[in-house]
Amino acid sequence: MPLRALLVALSFAALPSACDGDASADPPARRAAEFRSPAVEAELERAATVVRTRGFTDVEGTPWRGFLVDRGAAVDELRLRRGSCYVVLAAVSAAMEDLTIALYDSDGGEVAHSAPGTRALRYCPPQTGTYFVALRAEGSGLFAVARFEGPTGLDIRLDDLARDREAGP
């Protein structure tokens, strides 16, 4: 009798359990870049509209999105061409106190950074190549970054792109 009980137990162990199917059906974990904030998206589009009216066009690709923790940083690579100027524009969620944007060349040297209180920078590269956009946060929250390309010789304002939080929507 014990041998029969052992064989029955082994045959049940070999069968897939109903719980095994449920475990594989769990959705994959979402990445921070997939999260959207209607307020961040609206702010980015409002500022992007202003940049477009100043002679710049969107660089192909979707906006770069993510989440930063206080004093955290994120880096993205982009290809810039000599003979054009670029604007990097960011919008952030309300919990983020400040965001600094810096641009680095392929050797790691900083070539541009946003002015204090401004979430945008403009750069006209002296040579075509790979550059890196780095974001540094004060406070935690979501961000969205759009990139624009335009002609050289356009000296545009960037200080009016970020909406004052006390002013409201």
More confident residue, 140 or 8: 140
Q: How far apart are CA 52 and CA 149, in angstroms?
A: 9
Mean pLDDT of 118-128: 95
Query: Domains in the chain, please, with CATH?
Result: 32-167 (2.60.120.380)
Q: How far apart are CA 21 and CA 161, in angstroms?
A: 51
pLDDT tens digits along 30-83: 665 567 789 999 999 999 999 999 999 999 888 999 999 999 999 999 999 999
pTM: predicted TM-score of the whole model, two decimal places? 0.76
The tokens describing 121, both together, are 């920078």
Q: Ranked by mean pLDDT, which of 12-16, 84-88, 164-168 comes out on top?
A: 84-88
- pLDDT at position 3 is 47
Count CB-CB contacts under 10 A for residue 123: 17
User: How many whole angstroms from its chain centre is CA 161?
Assistant: 18
More confident residue, 145 or 31: 145
- pLDDT at position 126 is 96
More confident residue, 16 or 111: 111
In the three-class reduction of DSSP (H, G, I as helix; E, B as strand; rest coil), residue 80 is classed as: strand
In the three-class reduction of DSSP (H, G, I as helix; E, B as strand; rest coil), residue 75 is classed as: strand
- pLDDT at position 23 is 52
